[in-house]
Chain A
Amino acid sequence: MSAGETLERLDLSYHEDAPRIRTREGVELYCETRGEGPAITTLNNFFMTTPTWRVFTDELDHNHRIVSYDLCGHGESTHPAQYPTWEDHAADVAGLLDALEIEQTYLLSTSISTVLAREVALRYPDRVKGIILAGPALGPKGMRRHRQIQRAWLLTLENHGMAALYSHLYPEVFAADMNEELGTPGFLGLRESFLAISTAEELHNGLSLALQGETSPELLAQIEAPTLVVIGDDDILLSTTGARELAEKFPNGSYEIMPRAGHLPFLDDSSGFQAIVAKFIDGVESNA
C-alpha cells in the first residue's frame, strides 16, 4: 500500500468512550486497545497521537493486542504543570501495563520515542518482551547528529512557529519517493494534520526533553530483550550501516532495511512495516 493510500485512511479523531488510565499521582492517560494476542505498546514520538497509530497497526491487530496511548502532556492525556521527565514517561508505561494487567509487552517506538523504549527497557526489563526501533533517534556511536537536528527543530519552532517547523522537518523526515508521490497538495494537507495534532507548547516540551538524557550507546548493551532496528534506506538521520552497527550494540539485536522509506518507514509502506514487525514477534514468541 502506498503512502498516499495509507494517508487517505488516516483518522485523527479520538474515541469519546476510550478510557483514561491513571498511571501516577494526578496523571491519567488516554488509551485505546484493539485485538488479541501478544501485546504491542506503541510509543508516540512527540509529533504523533494515539489515533494516528490505527492506520499503521490495522494488520497487526489481527493477531496482537495493540495498546496505544497519549503521552502525559500530550493530546487527550493529563497536561501537568511540570512536563514529565523520561523517568516519568517510563513510569507511565509501567503503570499502563499494570492497569491493563499486561505482564509483558513489545514496545513499538519511532524516532524520538526510541529513547523512551530504551528507558523502559532499562528501568523495567521484566516488562519488555521485545523492542522495535523504527527510525531510531539512537546512534551506534552516540546521538550528536540527532540532538543537533532536534535542537534545530526546536529553534525553528521557537523563532518561526509550527508551520515553519513543519516545512523544516518534512524533507528530513519523509522519503523522496513519498514526497514526490504526495506532491504539493499532500504536503499542504499533511501540514493541516500536523497543525491539528499538537500544540506549539506540546512540541516545545517534547523537543526540549529530547535534548536531555543519556546518549551513550554503551547503555544498549544492558538491554537483553530482543530488539529490532527498522529503518528506511532513505532515512537521512541514520545510514543503513549505522542501523546494522546500532543493532549490534544490543545483545539480541537485529535490523531490517525498508527500500525507499524514510525516517518514519511505516508511513511509506504500512503493510510492509507491519509484516516486518509481525515476523519479528513471531520469531521471539517461537523461541520463548
Chain B
Amino acid sequence: MPDQAPAVRERIRALLVDMHGADSFVSAVPDAVSLREAGVSSTSLVSLLVAMEDAFGFEWQDDVRPEALRSISSLAQHVVAVRG
C-alpha cells in the first residue's frame, strides 16, 4: 500500500489555508512544527478538527492524546492510523 501520509499532510495544510488564507503563515509552517507555537489558535484548531472529520470521513474521540494534535505530521499520522 502506498504511503498515504504525504497526501494527508497536503490535504490538512489545504484545510488550514482555506481557514487562514493563502497568504497566511500556515502555508509555510513546516509539517513537524507545533501548530500552537506557530500561531494556530485553539479556536482555529477546533475548526480544523471539524473540517478534518468531513474531509477524511472519521470522527475524533475524546481520548486522543494531545501529541496527536501537535503538528500537521502528527495529525496526518492519526488520520492514517484511524483509516487503517
Stretch with Cβ within 8 A of B (4 or more), from A6-14, A62-70, A242-250: A6-14
Distance, CA A163 to CA B45, complexed state (A): 17
Shortest Cβ gap from A185 to chain B (Å): 4
A22 at the interface (CB under 8 A from B): no
Q: Is A192 an interface residue (CB 8 A)?
A: yes
Contact A10 B42 (CB under 8 A): yes
Q: Judging by beta carbons under 8 Å apart, are B43 and A185 in contact?
A: no
**B65 interface residue (CB < 8 Å to A):** yes
Are B60 and A192 touching (Cβ within 8 A)?
no
B residues less than 8 Å from A189 (CB atoms) = 42-43, 45-46, 49
> B10 at interface (Cβ–Cβ under 8 A)?
no
The answer on a CB contact under 8 Å between A196 and B36 is yes
Whether the Cβ atoms of A195 and B60 lie closer than 8 Å is: no
Given contacts A8-B43, A12-B42, A185-B60, contact A191 B49 (CB under 8 A): no
The interface bits of chain B over 44-84 (1 if a CB of A lies within 8 angstroms of the residue's CB, else 0) are 01100110010000011110111001000000000000000
Are B43 and A167 closer than 8 Å at their CB atoms?
no
The answer on a CB contact under 8 Å between A184 and B66 is no
Tell me the number of A-to-B contacts counted with CB atoms below 8 Å.
49
CA of A191 to CA of B45, assembled, Å = 11
Residue total for B at the interface (Cβ-Cβ under 8 A): 17
Pairwise interchain contact B45-A167, C-beta atoms closer than 8 A: no
For the complex, what is the distance from the CA of A189 to the CA of B41, rounded to whole Å? 9
From known contacts A184-B60, A184-B61, infer whether A190 and B53 are also in contact, taking CB-CB under 8 Å.
Answer: no
- Closest residue of chain B to A189 (Cβ to Cβ) is B46
Give the residue of B42, B50, B65 whose beta carbon is less than 8 angstroms from that of A192: B42
Choose from B36, B50, B66 the contact partner of A163 (Cβ within 8 Å): B66
Q: Which residues of A contact B53 (CB under 8 A)?
A: 185
B-side contacts of A12, CB under 8 Å? 41-42
Q: How far is the CB of A224 from chain B (nearest CB, A)?
A: 41
Residue from B36, B42, B64 in contact with A190 in the complex, judged by beta carbons closer than 8 Å: B42
Chain A residues lying within 8 Å of B41, measured Cβ to Cβ, are: 11-12
Q: Contact check, B42 vs A163: say whether CB atoms are below 8 A apart.
A: no
How close is A254's CB to chain B, nearest CB, in angstroms?
Answer: 35
Minimal Cβ-Cβ distance residue in B for A170: B62
Report how far A170 CA is from B43 CA in the complex, Å.
17
Which of A185, A191, A196 is the one whose CB lies under 8 Å from B50?
Answer: A185
Chain B contact residues, CB within 8 Å of chain A? 36, 41-43, 45-46, 49-50, 53, 59-62, 64-66, 69
User: Residues of A at under 8 Å CB distance from B?
Assistant: 7-12, 163, 167, 182, 184-193, 195-196
- 10 CB-based A-B contacts, threshold 8 Å: A11-B41, A12-B41, A163-B66, A184-B59, A185-B46, A188-B49, A188-B69, A192-B45, A192-B66, A196-B36
